[in-house]
Structure 1
Amino acid sequence: MLFNGLFGQPCQTVLVRGDNEPEYLPAGPGPAQVIFAHGYFSSALHEISHWCIAGEYRRTLQDYGYWYCPDGRSREQQFAFEQVEVKPQALEWLFALACDGRFHISVDNLAGQGAADQQLFASRVAYQAIAYLAPDAADAADAGVSGFENRPLSGFNSSIPCRAANFLHALMRFYGTEGSLTEALQKDARRVAPLWAAVGSDSRNTKDTETV
């Protein structure tokens, strides 16, 4: 398994196929566990994206210390949910493309009022995904940094979590998708976020809420 080979030893974290709902269990006597739901590939990518974003402190807490409001959320609750899902779903989308797979926006509120604003949410996810792929000058500036958590990010924006960048590189090498991610994302955006693809929605409100 790519994830376990990449992160099992240096981060003491393993990906585990679960039989029920997804969950994150911090390290105890054994390594931390990123548990994905029912063996679903998309669930694995989504849970990995949350793990890549969670900061060092949050990775010591069960489910990263988040209180989860279940399906059936009000419009206000759903808006709050979508606020913290932009970055994880942007990473999940990139992971799926690196696997030559298919990504779907998830508002996870079938029993409630649905998305607070489906088109806006999809546009914000698309904007964030594109932003993660835009290289900047940080690669050269960080060339002297060492350690697994802080390796230089080759080919990505400095805003992308280091573990996410390393996982993306591993996926692209394994699936042979190197060099095609930006083009694939721009093409797929017409399906996933048609409003953003049509008008280039400038949805910049992507406050980092998961790195503490």
Structure 2
Amino acid sequence: MNHSPNDLIMLFNDLFRETYRTVLVRGSDEPEYLPVSEPLGLAQVVFAHGYYASALHEISHWCIAGEHRRTLHDYGYWYCPDGRTPEQQRAFEQVEVKPQALEWLFSIAAGSRFHISVDNLAGDGAADDTGFRLSVVRQAGDYLRGGLSGRALGFLDTLKRFYGTGDSFVEAWQQDIGRIAPSYSELDTLRKTETV
């Protein structure tokens, strides 16, 4: 299956340009969120280097951000670059559970491969790799049991329609759990989950 970031730009912009005055934009180096800066302007969700996965990740952050956060540059969040101390990495992992869980669901809907990212190559890596992976799986399950916001649900449904994954989505997600978190033991519970 072809995964062009141009498709994500088209899908996101068709869905959110008018209703949320926001567009998805291909960037160069670092991803960022640029709120509206003038009365008739558009907010921009900027993803890095034209990478498909970066676009899905930045869309995830945008779907989670509340109304006030969407008025702030980068949603008003602190960001400590790669090379974090163990304490900084633990804080990073706590904040990243929700967007990575949502990015994973978006990836499944798009038929693309998701990769957990602790984003700390110059540091000591994950503070708690297994715990982080399990938290992402649990959060994705919570989202599927009815915890998706309107924007996230709308984009997930759009991806399923565009990539034709609606009928296979739940099964594909369940099969991918073992790859994302090999030690996850609640698979039977997840199989009984009613999902979106």
Unaligned runs of 5+ in 2: 1-9, 188-196
Distance 1:177 1:84 in 2: 29
Which one of the candidate residues 120, 125, 128 is aligned to 1:109? Answer: 120
Q: TM-score, normalised by structure 1?
A: 0.81
Between 1 and 2, higher relative CO (CA 8 Å, sep ≥ 6) is seen in: 1
Partner in structure 2 of residue 2 of structure 1: 11
Q: CA deviation at 1:28?
A: 1.8
Task: Please tell me whether residue 13 in structure 1 is matched to residue 40 in structure 2.
Answer: no
CA distance in 1, matches of 2:168, 2:138: 18
1:71 aligns with 2:82: yes
Structure 2 residue 35 is the aligned partner of structure 1 residue 26: yes
Instruction: Tell me by how many angstroms 1:54 deviates.
Output: 0.4
**Distance between the aligned counterparts of 1:180 and 1:87, measured in 2?**
23
Supply the distance in 1 between the matched residues of 2:37 and 2:19 (Cα, whole angstroms): 16
Distance 1:161 1:118 in 2: 27
Mapped contact 1:130–1:185 kept (Cα < 8 A)? no
RMSD: 1.0
1:133 CA drift (Å)? 1.2
Query: Does the 8 Å contact 1:133/1:182 carry over to 2?
Result: no
Aligned-partner Cα distance in 1 for 2:186–2:143: 16
Percent identity among equivalent residues?
65
- Alpha-carbon distance in 2 for matches of 1:160, 1:20: 30
- Following superposition, the deviation at residue 84 of structure 1 comes to 0.7
More helix per residue: 1 or 2?
Answer: 2
Residues 58-91 of structure 1 deviation map (CA, whole Å, 9 limit, x = unaligned): 0000000111111111111101100010010000
Moved over 3 A (4+): none
Structure 1 residue 162, shift from structure 2 partner:
1.3
Q: Give the AA of the match of 1:191.
A: R
Match of 2:157 in 1: 169
Aligned length: 176
SS in 2 for 1:63: helix
Paired residue type of 1:14: V
**How far apart are residue 110 of structure 1 and its match?**
0.5
Counterpart among 95, 99, 103 of residue 92 in structure 1: 103
Correspondence 1:200 to 2:186: yes
